Structure 1
Amino acid sequence: MVSSSDVKRLFLQSLLSRGIVSEALCKALYAKSIEAVKNADNNLNMPYSNTNEAFDEVIKDINASLNDLDLELKSIQDELSGRRLYALVNTKDDELAQVATDYTPAEIVFFKAIIEQIMLARNESFSLSSLAALREVSAIKPKSNMSKTQAETVLASFVAKGWLLRSKRCRYSLSPRTLLELYPYLKSTYDEELLYCTICHDVVTKGVACHRPNCKARLHFHCFKLYRRGKGKCPSCEIDWPRQATDDPLGAVGEGAVRDGDDGKRRVKIRQVDDDEEDEEMEPGSSQPSQPSQPSRSQKNKKSTKKKAVADSEEEDEDEEIPTQEDSPPPRRRSSRR
């Protein structure tokens, strides 16, 4: 028996098969779903038949039906193009449940390691080189026995299925699908590392940064372009901004902020006993973090105590008698025999 509710079912099935779609394609899929149900029964009363005029109402109606299933049809703007994208999202934060349906536990561990290095990248670069990504294979052992050849295949799969982006510089970064579907995981795990656009308030991992020190203004490229049409000052500190996003002295968020040596060491997020989180660096292939650049108070006390002990020993050495040349034993003569 065909009913008007079959439109939602067909529409959601088409979304699930595609992962993430543009707004234009999303509207086209809903229109095709209406057309398919009408072909089965032309006498049915179809709500929201004009999708272009009431698409927001369509989304609200669908999300009301999905609320009990912890699912939601959400949208996000592409950070580079500014296009509106839609995807069916699991709203329950349950350790990457969205990815677990397609990948093995070992591949999930590898994916989480890649995400960690991207989120902890220096200088707000939010990207990882291909070589550094493959180094994560040795870092996650013994949780995974994945070889580097297998890791290359899995990385290609992450890119092909829209979980990661790979640039012309062979650097991996977060995709719109990851930012949209895995936002609860990113929020709970890397809340301090997340940056938000000053204009649209969405997460920004690719864009521009204000060049004034300590200013927190961060904008997507498309948000900067729209904002700069009417205003010429920073929206936070009101310093004068250049006309183009690529002009100096604006800073960069994303690959443009990468500096030489940024991928040299592995960064690990460690939770301390007092629940304060710090980033520590690890040598490639090492299982222990390297010493922090700034010693703690206890370390400083130990160093000062050690210096004092060394000074005391030096003073004691000065009080001792220094042997003269006559008291010292004569040097041993080297034999001329071979």
Structure 2
Amino acid sequence: MVSSNDVQRLFLQAIFSRRIVSQKLAVKLWEKCVDAVKASDDTLEIPFSDTREAWDAWVVKINAALDPIDLEFAHMNDQANGKELYALVNRKGDEVAQMATDYSPVEIVYFKNLIEQIMLAPNETYCITSFAALREVANLKPTMTKTHGEIVLNSFVAKGWLHVSRGGKYSLSQRTLLELQTYLRSTYPDEILECTMCLEMVTHGTACKTPNCKARLHTHCYNVYRRRNDACPSCKEKWGTDPSKVTPVGEGAFKDGQDKGKRRARRAEEGGDEEGDEEEVEYDEGSQSQSQPSQSQPTRTQSQRKGKKKAVREESMDVDEDDDEEAAATPPPTKRKSSRR
């Protein structure tokens, strides 16, 4: 028998099939689900509203249903344009194991190694070249051929786990940053940068160049902030129009040759020294080296995150609203020690 609870079921099926969606598309899917259930039984009264308050209440309801199975309908903003994105996220266990349905164990290890090289990239670049990406194939046990590695690497990009730029640099995609956020924060605490404005992870944005200043902002947050402010939100240094006052975070900070000849790795947490010191390994196609996690970093409180995130969202909605070009279809019947230089 059709009931109002079927709206939740249809909505979750639609999200599962799409993995990551914009907030506008998610609202449209919700509306379509309500219409589908009403079409089956026109006597049902199912409230729907596209207001922000109604949407937030719907998300709370969805997460209450997902909580017993340790899933969350989580969201974050696109670092470049600020668009709000949603995805179902596993909040328990090794989040990278979510890929096990699509990839073999050795391919998952390859993906973990790529994440490590991206997170440990020097100069806060959070990206690697194709040379560095394929270099990791030689460090796998059991081994993988270079041809197989190229196929798997392309698959990571095609399925949205990695992003490749026009310049040929590989970085973590929005999907990976959202779905694997717990894994990234627990495994690479000292490599995590947080936006000074919204407190979310930053792998692409702008940094204040004042010595010892920790201000890092997403590209979108920086653009919104600069419309109304002329000084660094942390050290209060006047930025003005002088480009030397700020420096890029992400691919813009990449220096030619920074990842050639060596791979960045760490001593194994088990069997290595107690502090898990970093080691740099000369690249040799015959060599086999593995990397494991180590260390910790204090994090902001949840209330601080929510407060600043809400403020940034409200400010950005006043000055910037992106059109969503996606069309909605009817829903289907380990800890680390910093390696920064």
Aligned to 1:163: 161
Letter in 1 for 2:267: I
Provide Cα deviations, 1:244-282, integer angstroms capped at 9, x if missing partner: 8xx333111100111122112100133566643433211
Contact 1:98–1:181 under 8 Å retained in 2 = no
Question: Which of 267, 276, 292 lines up with 2:264 in the alignment?
Answer: 267
Letter in 2 for 1:162: G
Q: TM-score, normalised by structure 2?
A: 0.80
Bigger drift between 259-268 and 198-207 goes to: 259-268
Bigger drift between 96-105 and 190-199 goes to: 96-105
Structure-1 separation of matches of 2:181 and 2:56: 22
Question: Which of 250, 256, 261 lines up with 2:252 in the alignment?
Answer: 256
Q: TM-score, normalised by structure 1?
A: 0.80
Structure label with greater radius of gyration: 1
Aligned to 1:88: 88
Aligned to 1:321: none
Helix, strand or coil: the match of 2:267? strand
Structure-2 separation of matches of 1:277 and 1:237: 33
Identical positions, percent: 52
Aligned to 1:213: 211
Report deviation, 1:31: 0.6
Bigger drift between 13-22 and 270-279 goes to: 270-279
Helix, strand or coil: the match of 1:248? helix
Q: How many residues align?
A: 284
Letter in 2 for 1:261: G
Report deviation, 1:194: 0.6
Letter in 1 for 2:192: L
Aligned to 1:198: 196
Aligned to 2:128: 128
Aligned to 1:237: 235
Structure 1: gaps spanning 5 or more residues: 290-338
Structure-1 separation of matches of 2:36 and 2:229: 48
Letter in 1 for 2:249: V
Structure-1 separation of matches of 2:134 and 2:240: 38
Change (3 A) 1:37 1:238: same
Contact 1:242–1:250 under 8 Å retained in 2 = no
Structure-2 separation of matches of 1:288 and 1:38: 58
Contact 2:124–2:253 under 8 Å retained in 1 = yes
Contact 1:242–1:248 under 8 Å retained in 2 = no
Structure-2 separation of matches of 1:6 and 1:177: 27
Aligned to 2:139: 139
Structure-1 separation of matches of 2:11 and 2:241: 43
Structure-2 separation of matches of 1:281 and 1:242: 40
Q: Which has the higher contact order (CA 8 A, sep 6+)?
A: 2
The Cα RMSD (Å) is 1.7
Structure-1 separation of matches of 2:276 and 2:241: 38
Contact 1:163–1:175 under 8 Å retained in 2 = yes
Report deviation, 1:2: 0.4
Change (3 A) 1:288 1:181: closer
Aligned to 2:24: 24
Change (3 A) 1:202 1:229: same
Structure 2: gaps spanning 5 or more residues: 291-341
Aligned to 1:329: none
Structure-2 separation of matches of 1:95 and 1:179: 11
Aligned to 1:294: none
